[in-house]
Amino acid sequence: MFATEPNPKDNPSAGPVSSQWPPIGQTEVVGSLDVTVVVPVQSGDAEVRQVLQALGCELDREGRSWEMIFVFDGVQGPAWEKVEALRSEYGRKVRTIHFKNPFGESVCLSAAVEKALGRIIVTSPQYVQVDPIELGDMLDEIDRGADFVAPWRHPRVDPVLNRVQSVLFNFVIRMIIGMRFHDLNCYFRAIRREVLEEVVIYGDMYRFLPVIAFRRGYRVVEVKVRHLQEWGRAGFFGLGVYVRRLLDILAVMFLTKFTLKPLRFFGTLGGLVTLSGTMLTAYLTIEKLVYNEGIAGRPLLLIAVLLIVLGVQIIGFGLVGEIIIYSQARNLKEYRIERIWE
């Protein structure tokens, strides 16, 4: 699916590499480093040098050993050459993973975790979005026992319109999922390695990683961070973006709350629809019997019957969901044990 640290001999288009990888030594052991910074590179103009210097300086100052993995998500362009230059400069501290096609940030992160040596994974956007000073505090939270540190950009510096939309998005999330996260749209996160080994993410789940980790029973801490700059478009996004966000929320809500009991979800939804249809039918029946009005040609009757039929169909889907879960996921655990005292 993807090529890891491509050998320039196989792939001449990858650009010149001045220094080869050092031979694999004793340090190539998972957990031998404190921190692995994962940077999914989404576009050719990524500020890889700035990110490396800002975070690297801060990590050195904190006295933590680190490495940085740039995951090129099907991206060519100047960023690639820049990283090659950094690699010759920093040696083993800079590593790259290269996808031939864009797979999205979730897959980037999963691939990087496979290769990462650090005990803590820090994800960063491809530019210096948040004051690197905050990284120290975030890592301290992990040392204090948190499994996942989510950032909260406060105060924010991007245009008001973006902020309003972001606040709205997070508010909807809070309402639907019932958790108090303020800022899911900032990807500057510090995560204990075990969390990412346990929680499998795919598709657009990257954004919801704190929510998923929380539902899986990990301790998620939110810290306020200073916002430096924001890339991306100002103003309104395309309609497609809003629709996709809405679908994401629906998927996350369904998967985090109802994976093991699909009928509870479909049954409640279908029950409500059927109930509304039944109430309309009851109303029409009263009209017919008490007031003796003809109801035959009324659209309301058809709507009522349609609602009942729709509700029953939704419940039917829930039944198939139960069969799927029973037959495919019999050993799925719904709990996470913190500790056992034997």
Partner 1 sequence: MSLSIDLSIVVPIYNEAESLKILHGEIQAAAAPMGLSWELILVDDCSTDGSHRIALELRKNDPHLRIVRFSRNYGQTAALAAGFDQSRGDVVVTLDGDLQNDPADIPKMLKELERGFDVIAGWRKDRQDGFVLRRLPSMIANRMIAIVTGVAIHDTGCTLKAFRREVIERLPIYAEQHRFLPVMSQGSGARVTEMIVNHRPRLFGSSKYGIGRAWRVLLDLMAIKLISQFSQRPLRYFGFLSFLFMIFGGFFASVGLITTGAQAAAFENNWTVNTWQQTVISVTILIWMLMVFFAMLGLLAELVVHASGMHKRSALSRLMNEQS
The answer to whether the CB of 132 falls within 8 A of the CB of 206 is no
Q: In angstroms, what is the minimal distance from the CB of 256 to partner 1?
A: 13
Q: In angstroms, what is the minimal distance from the CB of 176 to partner 1?
A: 19
Of 162-191, binders to partner 1 (CB under 8 A) are none
Task: Answer yes or no whether residue 10 interacts with partner 1 by CB under 8 A.
Answer: no
The answer to whether the CB of 188 falls within 8 A of the CB of 214 is no
Q: In angstroms, what is the minimal distance from the CB of 206 to partner 1?
A: 23
The phi, psi pair for 328, rounded to 5°, reads -100, -25
Task: Answer yes or no whether residue 255 interacts with partner 1 by CB under 8 A.
Answer: no
Q: How far apart are CA 103 and CA 207, in angstroms?
A: 15
Task: Answer yes or no whether residue 297 interacts with partner 1 by CB under 8 A.
Answer: yes
> Which residues have CB under 8 Å from 62's CB, separation 6+?
135, 136, 139
**Nearest Cα to Cα of residue 135 among 28, 30, 34, 209:** 34
Task: Answer yes or no whether residue 264 interacts with partner 1 by CB under 8 A.
Answer: yes
Helix ranges (H only) for 10-150 are: 48-62, 78-90, 105-115, 133-143
Q: In angstroms, what is the minimal distance from the CB of 219 to partner 1?
A: 7
Please, which residue, 168 or 272, has the CB nearer to partner 1?
272
Q: In angstroms, what is the minimal distance from the CB of 147 to partner 1?
A: 9
Number of residues that bind partner 1 (CB under 8 A): 46
Whether residue 155 is preceded by a cis peptide bond, meaning omega within 30 degrees of 0, is: yes
Please, which residue, 92 or 288, has the CB nearer to partner 1?
288
Of 112-131, binders to partner 1 (CB under 8 A) are none
Q: How far apart are CA 80 and CA 72, in angstroms?
A: 8
The phi, psi pair for 229, rounded to 5°, reads -155, 165
- The DSSP annotation for 50-87 comes to HHHHHHHHHHHHHT--EEEEEEEES--SHHHHHHHHHH
Please, which residue, 70 or 265, has the CB nearer to partner 1?
265
Task: Answer yes or no whether residue 239 interacts with partner 1 by CB under 8 A.
Answer: no
Among 217, 246, 250, 283, binds partner 1 (CB under 8 A): 217
Task: Answer yes or no whether residue 330 interacts with partner 1 by CB under 8 A.
Answer: yes
Among 263, 279, 286, 303, binds partner 1 (CB under 8 A): 263
Please, which residue, 23 or 297, has the CB nearer to partner 1?
297
Please, which residue, 136 or 271, has the CB nearer to partner 1?
271
Q: Which helix (H) or strand (E) holds 33?
A: strand 33-41
Q: In angstroms, what is the minimal distance from the CB of 75 to partner 1?
A: 37
Task: Answer yes or no whether residue 342 interacts with partner 1 by CB under 8 A.
Answer: yes
Classify each residue of 276-294 as buried b or exposed e, where b means 16 or more C-beta atoms within 10 Å of its C-beta: bbeebbeebeebeeeeeee
**Nearest Cα to Cα of residue 115 among 16, 224, 192, 38:** 38
Q: In angstroms, what is the minimal distance from the CB of 31 to partner 1?
A: 21
Q: Which residues contribute to the site for partner 1 (CB under 8 A)? A: 217-219, 260-261, 263-264, 267-268, 271, 294, 296-297, 301-302, 305-306, 309, 312-313, 315-320, 322-330, 332-342
